[in-house]
Amino acid sequence: MTYLQIQGIRMEFGDIVAVHDVSLDVRQGEFMTFLGPSGSGKSTTLYILAGFQQPTRGDILLDGRTLLDRPSHQRNIGMVFQRYTLFPNMTVGENIAFPLKVRRRPKAEIDARVREMLRLVRLEGFEDRRIARMSGGQQQRVALARALAYDPPVLLMDEPLSALDKKLREEIQHEIRRIHQQTGVTILYVTHDQEEALRLSDRIAVFSQGRIDQVGTGAELYANPATRFVAEFIGDSDVLPAEIVAAHGTHADVRVGEAVVRGVPVHGAARTGAATLLLRPERITLARGAAGGLPATVTDVTFLGNTFHVAAVTPTGDALSIRLPFGHEAAAGLSRGEAVSLSFDPASAHVFA
């Protein structure tokens, strides 16, 4: 059931259109991530939800009611933003209590709630510590505790972990997942990191140039990218110049080098002519010598434990990467400069006109 509806949001800053026409339905309790490169309109959309900015056009409904006629502090939305920081001279407990004090909750309730939040983010015993004396990761936990203290129906997070190192980031990602499951709060999360998005989200909205290109689970976006942008942004991909020689609705016959591959899923208008073929590195198989597939020359082989990463180049000079599982017959003996033949299931490829 739809809970939060973003309807046709447009945001102009003078001549700049930061958000073009964003619409999105979010279910109650869902973990929805806005994923996209810097400048694609993710934060602006989140700030509009938070009430920091009023959109040029469009509406936002929570449980069927518009949010736009309410100022930020009356929307009851929790926020963990980089610019919405903790109070460094207050203690951990005072920070978490702050939104409750603003709401004039009774002291006993505040105390109980602060303790509950400290337990939730696993910071029991830190109540009297000053923020300035907490590590980056601990501070993010406090920010999360403060944002959740008054039990908001929706929590917004804008790149909350981008200042942390990889190990700490993964640890807090794990915590965020646990807290999401434990509280059932609806989360809208912004990141430019696809791995983070895949790790955390129920669904991902892929942003590009102020628009949402596609919304889906990570697996849906990976298996069925609607645009070339989504295909290249989610997961690794090999991109080859190609030509659509025949189009049959959702599938096309595609020439790559000398070969014609039949029945490749096509995205966008399926018309004949120049196109781009996209392959996933783990969906390509490899045979040594000339074996009837796409010819290529090995340029490098790296063993990474469970996989071999093979770099290769086609006769037209296009570089490809291929992942072969450990145990793959041809992989172990491959050497640089060797001629190989590549093949793939047409259904696992994508062509973009």
* Footprint on this chain of ligand ADP (rule: CB under 6 A): 13, 16, 18, 36, 38-44
Q: Which does 78 bind (CB under 5 to 8 A by kind): ligand ADP, Mg ion, none?
A: none
Question: Closer to ligand ADP at the Cβ: 43 or 321?
Answer: 43
Question: Closer to ligand ADP at the Cβ: 82 or 181?
Answer: 82
Q: Which does 214 bind (CB under 5 to 8 A by kind): ligand ADP, Mg ion, none?
A: none
CB of 342 to ligand ADP, least distance (A): 36
CB of 45 to Mg ion, least distance (A): 10
Q: Which does 95 bind (CB under 5 to 8 A by kind): Mg ion, ligand ADP, none?
A: none
CB of 230 to ligand ADP, least distance (A): 15
Q: Which does 280 bind (CB under 5 to 8 A by kind): ligand ADP, Mg ion, none?
A: none
Token pair 């993710």 in the structure block, residue: 42
CB of 108 to ligand ADP, least distance (A): 40
Q: Which does 41 bind (CB under 5 to 8 A by kind): Mg ion, ligand ADP, none?
A: ligand ADP
Residues 310-339, one symbol each (x = binds Mg ion by CB under 5 A, - = not), give: ------------------------------
Q: Which does 173 bind (CB under 5 to 8 A by kind): ligand ADP, Mg ion, none?
A: none
Residues 37-56, one symbol each (x = binds Mg ion by CB under 5 A, - = not), give: ------x-------------
CB of 159 to ligand ADP, least distance (A): 8
Question: Closer to ligand ADP at the Cβ: 42 or 169?
Answer: 42
CB of 39 to ligand ADP, least distance (A): 4
CB of 208 to Mg ion, least distance (A): 14
Question: Closer to ligand ADP at the Cβ: 39 or 346?
Answer: 39
3-state secondary structure the chain: CEEEEEEEEEEEECCEEEEEEEEEEEECCCEEEEECCCCCCHHHHHHHHHCCCCCCEEEEEECCEECCCCCHHHCCEEEEECCCCCCCCCEHHHHHHHHHHHCCCCHHHHHHHHHHHHHHCCCCCCCCCEHHHCCHHHHHHHHHHHHHCCCCCEEEEECCCCCCCHHHHHHHHHHHHHHHHHHCCEEEEEECCHHHHHHHCCEEEEEECCEEEEEECHHHHHHCCCCHHHHHHCCCCEEEEEEEEEEECCEEEEEECCEEEEEEEEECCCCCEEEEEEECHHHEEEEECCCCCEEEEEEEEEECCCEEEEEEECCCCCEEEEEEECCCCCCCCCCCCCEEEEEECHHHCEEEC
Question: Closer to ligand ADP at the Cβ: 40 or 140?
Answer: 40
Q: Which does 237 bind (CB under 5 to 8 A by kind): ligand ADP, Mg ion, none?
A: none
Q: Which does 39 bind (CB under 5 to 8 A by kind): Mg ion, ligand ADP, none?
A: ligand ADP
Instruction: Tell me whether strands 307-313 and 259-267 are parallel, antiparallel or unpaired.
Output: unpaired
Measured between alpha carbons, how far is residue 245 from residues 256, 260, 270 in Å?
10, 8, 10
Query: For 249, left (φ over 0), alpha (ψ -120 to 50), or beta?
Result: left
Residue 57 structure tokens: 């056009």
Token pair 């990467």 in the structure block, residue: 321
Question: Closer to ligand ADP at the Cβ: 41 or 152?
Answer: 41
Question: Closer to Mg ion at the Cβ: 36 or 78?
Answer: 36
CB of 12 to ligand ADP, least distance (A): 9
Calpha distance 206→253 (Å, rounded): 28
**Which residues of this chain interact with Mg ion, rule CB under 5 A?**
43
